[in-house]
Amino acid sequence: MYVSLYTAASLDMKIADTSHTVEYLDWVKTPEGEDYGYHEFYQNIDGLIMGRKTYDISFELGGGQWPYTGNKPCFVFTRSDTIQHVDENNVSIVNSLDEFIKMGLNDRFWLLGGGELVRAFLNRDLIDRMIIHLFPVVLGDGIPLFPDGTVSKKFMLSEEKKFENGILELRYEREI
Ligand SMILES: NC(=O)c1ccc[n+]([C@@H]2O[C@H](COP(=O)([O-])OP(=O)(O)OC[C@H]3O[C@@H](n4cnc5c(N)ncnc54)[C@H](OP(=O)(O)O)[C@@H]3O)[C@@H](O)[C@H]2O)c1
């Protein structure tokens, strides 16, 4: 299994505001035709992994529709046994990281987040690569990408790209 965290974040490493909205992503104007490498990245992953809160928000952002194309398998982490919207989109529910590891999957996954699930993966040393689009905004209070309780871990900066609107793409690989 190869896990890539691919996410946007503010300068203070928040992924959403306290209301769980990502309006800050619209504070910066995206040049015509720019997708920040999303298409290429998405082509090269086999499946998605996300926490239940990110799953709920994904539907909201997609206007009630599943926003991810290609019918790629999606694993949604939840400790609860009630979850909305399941099934039609190749979604599987996972109750723990141990359960997921036991599946023995050998795919390339996009870990979408949110922070709680990032913490769980990082604490088990399961993140191979991080691609972070750093937005030139400070959010203040908000949902952290790396919440309290995340372990310390060193990564290696492998690539950086500066976009003309001030967004910085930072790619980090795990140190072996
Ligand atoms: N900027 C971006 O690119 C970006 C990307 C992704 C998400 N976001 C934002 O991030 C926010 C959500 O992040 P979040 O940190 O609050 O929540 P999250 O990680 O998306 O979801 C947390 C939930 O996932 C489940 N969970 C987490 N760890 C688990 C584990 N080890 N085993 C089983 N279940 C586990 C639990 O679900 P239950 O409560 O159901 O048990 C937990 O409440 C949203 O506002 C979203 O918009 C932003």
Tell me, in angstroms, the distance from the centre of ligand 1 to residue 168's CA.
24
- Summarised one tens digit per residue, pLDDT across range 102-159 is 999 999 999 999 999 999 999 999 999 999 999 999 999 999 999 999 999 999 999 9
Q: What is the pTM of this model?
A: 0.95
Count of structural domains within the chain: 1
Return the CATH number at 18: 3.40.430.10
Q: Kindly provide the residue ranges of all beta strands, DSSP E only, lying in the chain, ordered along the sequence.
A: 2-9, 14-16, 47-51, 74-77, 91-94, 108-113, 129-134, 143-144, 155-162, 168-174
Backbone phi, psi, residue 26, to 5°: -95, -5
Q: Contact at 8 Å (CB) between 50 and 76?
A: yes
- Summarised one tens digit per residue, pLDDT across range 1-48 is 999 999 999 999 999 999 999 999 999 999 999 999 999 999 999 999
> Both tokens of residue 107?
């795919």
Tell me, in angstroms, the distance from the centre of ligand 1 to residue 52's CA.
5
Tell me, in angstroms, the distance from the centre of ligand 1 to residue 163's CA.
28
Look up the domain containing 46 and give its range.
2-174
Q: Residue 85: pLDDT above 70?
A: no
